[in-house]
Copies of this chain bind each other. A is one copy, B any other.
Amino acid sequence: MQKLLQIDFPFNGPFGEEMSTVLAELAQSITEEPGFIWKIWTEQQSLKEAGGIYLFTDEPSAQAYLEKHTARLKSLGVNEVRARIYDVNQSLSKITKAPIK
């Protein structure tokens, strides 16, 4: 069953287009993670936070990615990572044009 993973963490920047340039290679690598379907990159510059919302094919893939990404963030000095994994209500989401299968 598809799972939605949300991650947020403190981030001092860069944001916007500068962030895009710095992290383009990482973004490309994320598309090759097992079970990965898509990621929306989220930013809240005023709060100095960044994160993402991901769709994975199943819970083990989402969990494995979360562990890998949390370790990567820790290696970059980000120690406070908030994450949640959600079930998706497929029937209601289809009515509201959600980008899921």
A: residues with CB less than 8 A from B are 4, 6, 15-17, 19-20, 23-24, 27-28, 30-31, 37-45, 51, 53, 84, 86-89, 91-93, 95-100
Is there contact, CB below 8 Å, between B93 and A39?
Answer: yes
Is there contact, CB below 8 Å, between B42 and A89?
Answer: yes
Q: A97-B31, A99-B99 are in contact. Are A4 and B42 (CB under 8 A)?
A: yes
Give which listed residue, B23, B27, B87, B98, contacts A43 with CB less than 8 A: B87
Q: Which 7 A-B pairs have the closest CB atoms?
A: A99-B99, A20-B91, A41-B89, A39-B96, A42-B86, A27-B95, A41-B92
Is there contact, CB below 8 Å, between A42 and B88?
Answer: yes
Bound form: Cα–Cα A31–B16 in Å: 29
A50 to nearest B CB, angstroms? 8
